[in-house]
Amino acid sequence: MAASALVPRSHVLTLHDRAALLRDKARVSITLATDAGLRNISSDLPRAMVVHYSTFDAQQLDATSANVSIPPPTELVSILHIGPGLAAPGAVKWVVEWMVKACHHEGKNEYRLFAEKRFGFAQNVLIYQALLLFGITAPTDHFVAHLNKHISTKQLTAEEVATVWHTLPRESKILKNMLFTLVEKKHDHNLDHESAIVAYVATQPELSGLLSDVGEMRNKSFEHQKALEEKWALREQQKKIALKRQEHNKKGAAKAAKRHAEWMGPTTHQGGAYEKALAPGQRTRGGLIG
């Protein structure tokens, strides 16, 4: 039984499991079509490793490549051919090296993917393109966060914008983040109309159209938000008016009740001078004589 059949993707690999992936006798050779011709990236990768860490399975590898015998005759190699423009050679090599490092990882947790800080933004975008091509099953959240942080906090260059636009799929969160960021920069006047980015966008009708759509969405969103804020402010103002009216009505009711009590109840005066009978000859404080 192949090593990959013993290690399901949902299983957290132990060091023994990872070693088993490397011992698989079935091998994979990766070739990449470039402008200079066919380039061999790797000719001796364990198939179990490739199958486990990517969405390629053995049937896909067999269906898209020719099996040829290599010494010893009992071992087969599947040729995985990557067409032109689908990935950069250095990025594919990085992904292959990551798979091998993941198999040698001695920690208990899964070997995670991190962007290469020694590389520039454009290089990491190319690596991410290769990760998507291979369908790497390891979490890529740290990798994506690194790229999105650069987009949101750094001043992008025309070359970086072009790299994202030409390499990542249209549904990519990174591409969407770049579109929204460029629209925000333009709105905040942080994107010079004469800049190289504006000049590049002018040469890309689809990109220009998407930016216009995003800008329209942004304006509608802000208009909607402004309408909600105005509605909320009016609601709060109406609440304050209602509370003041309620307080005024309470005070009015209390005064009315007091007036009613004064008219209907017995008249009393401080000291009670007129409520008690005076003895003959007794004087009040005011000088009255009984």
pLDDT in tens, the chain (290 residues): 344 444 444 456 677 788 888 888 888 888 888 888 888 888 788 888 888 888 876 556 655 544 433 333 335 677 788 888 889 999 999 999 999 988 887 766 667 888 888 899 999 999 999 999 988 877 888 899 999 999 999 989 999 999 999 999 998 999 999 999 998 888 776 666 558 998 999 999 999 999 988 888 877 766 655 655 566 667 767 778 888 888 888 888 888 887 777 777 655 555 555 555 666 766 666 565 55
**Structural domain ending residue among the three candidates 111, 131, 163:** 111
Answer yes or no: do 98 and 158 share one domain.
no
In a domain, 284, yes or no: no
In a domain, 33, yes or no: yes
Helices (H) and strands (E) in the chain, counts: 11, 4
In a domain, 271, yes or no: no
**Structural domain ending residue among the three candidates 90, 111, 132:** 111
What's the domain range around 217?
A: 140-245
Answer yes or no: do 1 and 105 share one domain.
yes
**CA gap 251, 238 in Å, rounded:** 20
Answer yes or no: do 15 and 80 share one domain.
yes
In a domain, 255, yes or no: no
Model confidence pTM above 0.85: no
- The pLDDT score that the predictor gives to residue 5 is 40
Q: Which residue, among 214, 210, 182, 209, has the nearest Cα to 197 in the 3D structure?
A: 182
| 3-state helix vs strand vs coil in the chain, percent to 5 | 55, 10, 35
Give the count of domains, the chain: 2
Answer yes or no: do 9 and 78 share one domain.
yes
In a domain, 116, yes or no: no
Q: Are 30 and 44 in contact (CB under 8 A)?
A: no
In a domain, 156, yes or no: yes
Answer yes or no: do 91 and 54 share one domain.
yes
Answer yes or no: do 78 and 172 share one domain.
no
